[in-house]
């Protein structure tokens, strides 16, 4: 890894970085390396981590802006939309909410889940959109009771179903693949502690019209993710999303939370992360 040169940031965007992206290929940074790089670039958070990593993150003077939900395997498959899994999801997420509250981690991620009755079997029949939404609302209302007491925000994520080229670039079968559908689930819950995780990459793939979507969803946005499209790669000139006006839009709508960079490096990860921070620091 090359030496990291410090960045002079404007301070209007709170940068975060998603750990798993830099731990699956290439140099495979460990958590200490990730934290050291993040701190040197002015990034204040390393996120989508569980309690086993929070001590190291805190040791480096950083926070974890949003925690994993604690579900094993592919956590986005078995979600709140499916009665077969909901009890387990609520139990595991509730424990994570308690852990977050104790460690001052502000948010935890949540997922609608896949549309199939057996999440791993597309031949098992489908949960209707209406039923899936109703079941999600029911589960999130239960989580909201605890989240409100603990001061932790549950962020429900919208994911794309179009890209089947890689298990982390898209999620064919995920029920919450329309941003309006997911935002409306959050609105129906009606809790200040249940919000939307607005992933710019996934929204671009499925819906587009990102600036207007941000305006329409401003009342429920709890967290932001970035990545280049196509391919969930770096935020460079080879991809189609124009990030600076999107970041300015976040400032305009009064978003004060973290912007988590969640791209999968295809080249020098340090250079790519530095570029992402520079491009989004408006």
Q: What is the average pLDDT across 41-47?
A: 98
If pLDDT is split at 50, 70 and 90, which confidence band does 7 have? confident
CA distance 40 to 43: 7
Q: Would you name the residues annotated as active-site residues?
A: 157, 262
Nearest to 96 by CA among 74, 75, 113: 75
Given CATH 1.10.3720.10, say whether it is the number of domain 14-280.
Answer: no
Q: What is the average pLDDT across 258-262?
A: 98
Residue 252 has pLDDT above 90, yes or no: yes
CA distance 18 to 253: 24
| Residue 136: both structure tokens together | 């999600």
Q: What is the pLDDT of residue 245?
A: 98
Phi then psi dihedrals of residue 48, to 5 deg:
55, 55
Edge-to-edge strand order for the sheet containing 14-18?
A: 45-47, 14-18, 258-261, 221-226, 194-199, 153-157, 107-111
Residue 4 has pLDDT above 80, yes or no: no
Q: What is the pLDDT of residue 220?
A: 98
Q: What is the average pLDDT across 101-128?
A: 98
CA 233 to chain centre: 16
Dump pLDDT digits (tens) for 59-91: 999 999 999 999 999 999 999 999 999 999 999
Which residue is listed with tokens 């080879």?
238
**Would the pTM of this model clear 0.85, i.e. be above it?**
yes
Q: What is the pLDDT of residue 233?
A: 97
| Residue 252: both structure tokens together | 């305009």
Residue 146 has pLDDT above 70, yes or no: yes
Residue 5 has pLDDT above 80, yes or no: no
Residue 1 has pLDDT above 60, yes or no: no
CA distance 210 to 219: 15
Express as a percent the part of the chain with pLDDT over 70.
98
Q: What is the mean pLDDT of the chain?
A: 96
Q: What is the average pLDDT across 113-136?
A: 98
Q: What is the pLDDT of residue 25?
A: 73
If pLDDT is split at 50, 70 and 90, which confidence band does 124 have? very high
Q: What is the pLDDT of residue 2?
A: 53
Segments making up each domain of the chain, as ranges: 14-280
Dump pLDDT digits (tens) for 185-225: 999 999 999 999 999 999 999 999 999 999 999 999 999 99
Q: What is the average pLDDT across 1-18?
A: 82
């Amino acid at each position: 890894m090359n030496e990291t040169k410090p960045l002079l940031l404007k301070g209007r965007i709170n940068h975060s970085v998603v750990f798993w992206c830099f731990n699956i290929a290439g140099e495979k940074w460990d958590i200490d390396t990730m934290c050291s790089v993040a701190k040197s670039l002015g990034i204040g958070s390393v996120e989508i981590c569980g309690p086993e990593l929070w001590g190291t993150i805190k040791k480096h003077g950083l926070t974890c802006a949003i925690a994993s939900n604690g579900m094993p395997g592919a956590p986005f498959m078995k979600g709140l939309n499916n009665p077969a899994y909901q009890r387990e999801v609520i139990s595991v997420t509730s424990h994570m909410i308690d852990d977050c509250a104790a460690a001052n981690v502000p948010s935890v991620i949540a997922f609608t889940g896949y549309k199939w009755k057996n999440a791993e079997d597309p031949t098992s029949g489908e949960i209707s959109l209406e039923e899936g939404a109703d079941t999600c609302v029911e589960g999130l209302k239960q989580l909201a009771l605890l989240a409100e007491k603990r001061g932790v925000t549950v962020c429900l994520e919208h994911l794309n179903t179009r890209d089947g080229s890689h298990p982390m670039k898209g999620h064919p079968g995920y029920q919450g693949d329309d941003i309006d559908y997911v935002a409306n689930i959050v609105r129906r819950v009606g809790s200040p502690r249940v919000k939307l995780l607005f992933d710019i990459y996934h929204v671009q793939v499925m819906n587009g019209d990102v600036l207007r979507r941000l305006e329409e969803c401003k009342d429920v946005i709890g967290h932001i993710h970035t990545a280049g499209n196509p391919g969930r790669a770096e935020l460079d000139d080879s991809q189609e999303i124009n990030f600076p006006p999107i970041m300015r839009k976040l400032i305009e709508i009064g978003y004060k939370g973290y912007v988590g960079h969640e791209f999968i490096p295809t080249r020098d990860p340090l250079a790519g992360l530095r570029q992402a921070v520079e491009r989004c620091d408006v």
